[in-house]
Chains A and B, each alone.
Chain A
Amino acid sequence: MTFEAADRVDSVPPSGIRRFFELAEEMDDIISLGVGEPDFSAPWAAREAAIASLERGQTSYTANRGKRELRDRIADYEASTHNLQYDPDEEILVTAGASEGLDLAFRALLNPGDSIAIAQPCYVSYIPGATFAGIDVIDVPTRAEDEFKLTREVLESSGAAEADALVYCYPNNPTGATMTAEEMASVAAFCRENDLLVFADEIYADLTYEHDHTSIATLPGMRERTVVFNGFSKAFAMTGFRLGYAMAPPEAIEAMNRIHQYSMLSAPTTAQHAAIEALDNCRDEVTDMAAQYDRRRKYVLTRFEEMGLDCFPAAGAFYAFPECPWDDAGEFAESLLQEKRVAVVPGTAFGEGGSGHLRVSYATGLDDLKEAMARIESFLN
């Protein structure tokens, strides 16, 4: 008997960004615009709360669903910022990052053989997560001409009506696309008409720049069929704390918690202490970081325009998604890295609909960003 990956694991290809990671790691003095996490450290007050909790010896498990004080604050926060009403007792589950929440939803709320429509390009874990859960994937490639928004048209043409659930992320990684309330309403109508569950990854909700973020769960008839995922990684710059949460009606949270209690027991305790402090006292930092991303966003979009690089006005997260001037975006990204020492990620790494584009992360200090843009400009000439 020897170790071999199980079939469902074996069927998942290695991540498309792995190659770039390996190339970039071998090089010195690169400027990376290929990073999918904030360049800021977590707010100091949150870090200090984590340290203080360790000093007090608070190193035990918490309740499976997360500390009650944290769930209370999450409920208040979501009510005041995103107009979402969830009961901290029965409708919120604190997870090890939003990623764990999504994995739980795939396994706890769908059966092997069910199908899920995945709006793409998308975060790299959705398709593997569905595959590990034995769920069939229906690709829903969003289109450059729609600025990578999810529309009724692409949902219909991709056969999403046959799916049991839909998963998407807006504001979007990798495109930076956002959805207005109206645009979200047409997706909601489609989901109601075709009786789809919705897994709404809203991890970038607070990084929406041109308009307010609208959660699909606030729209009529949607709360009962939606699981909303959010967390502390992006807006609070707390990626390494690994802390997220899922919000849904009690029966969904109960099912997800059944896996969570056996596989994870509880989300990291130290991180939960930091998150309580983050929600109590770090909102100003979030606003300030968002303002800085917004400036960089404007800078990058203006520079792309000056270079003649086609790029829709991405209004969320910390990504721009310009059209690649070469036929092969992978080749372009590799040459840019080799010749100019600037790392970007080809859109193909994020699934259908991403081809011909580049993900450019502006979660990088302005000095580096300016230099990187100058290098890209000289590469293009």
Chain B
Amino acid sequence: MSSRREILDLLRENARYTTEDIARLTDYSESEVAEAIEEFEEAGVIRGYGAVVDWNAVETDEERVRATVELNVTLDRETSYDDISDRIAKFPEVTSLRLVSGDYDFDLEVEGDSMREVSHFISDKIAPIPEITQTVTHYIMESYKEQGMEFDDHDDDDRLSVSP
């Protein structure tokens, strides 16, 4: 028997599956699938749908530069992690923001049109936030796997076309 979790798994695998597809792949009817998705959306379980893009494969002169940034912060009685994250997450340049364990506090992902734009953003907008004590920026040079999808093309099916 399918669980509603399976609907989430399928949408994560491919957000373009139709409710009809999902119904055929599970024990749910189409209307049950539609209802579940609506509930997930309303409850904020599903926050959105997007494409996984390999920017290197996009044939355009436009460059997309991405960087991950390690952020260290200091907290005080009036300021919590949530207060700081609110300020950072509002910038459209920030594509993801996570609190992590280890040597630094926040793991930030930033996107821009050029390295210059990204570094200016870090130095002008992020570094001056009073609670931030240190930033370490890593530009992404090559992406091999994003959101569970490998970007290599060597996965050709080498099986015999018909076998017992």
Contact = CB atoms under 8 A, between A and B. Distances in A.
B25 A295 contact: yes
Contacts of B26: 295, 298
Nearest to A300: B24
Chain A, interface size: which category?
20 to 34
Interface string A278-307: 000000000000000001101100110000
A345 B161 CA distance: 11
Would you call the interface of chain B mostly helix, strand, loop, or mixed? loop
B161 A34 contact: yes
B161 A21 contact: yes
A17 interface: yes
Contacts of A36: 163-164
B162 A32 contact: yes
Interface string B5-30: 01000100010000001011111000
Nearest to A38: B159
A35 B163 CA distance: 5
Nearest to A22: B162
B25 A298 contact: yes
Interface residues of B, number: 17
B159 A17 contact: no
A298 B27 contact: yes
A224 interface: no
A15 B164 CA distance: 9
B160 A21 contact: yes
A378 to B, nearest CB: 17
A4 interface: no
Contact of A17 (B21, B24, B163): B163
A90 B118 CA distance: 66
A35 B157 CA distance: 11
A179 B23 CA distance: 27
A295 B160 CA distance: 24
Contacts of A173: 164
Contacts of B25: 295-296, 298-299, 366
A240 B105 CA distance: 46
Contacts of B23: 302
Contact of B161 (A24, A295, A296, A298): A24
22 contacts: A15-B164, A17-B162, A17-B163, A20-B162, A21-B160, A21-B161, A24-B161, A30-B161, A32-B159, A35-B163, A36-B163, A39-B157, A39-B159, A41-B155, A124-B164, A295-B10, A295-B26, A298-B25, A299-B21, A302-B23, A345-B162, A366-B14
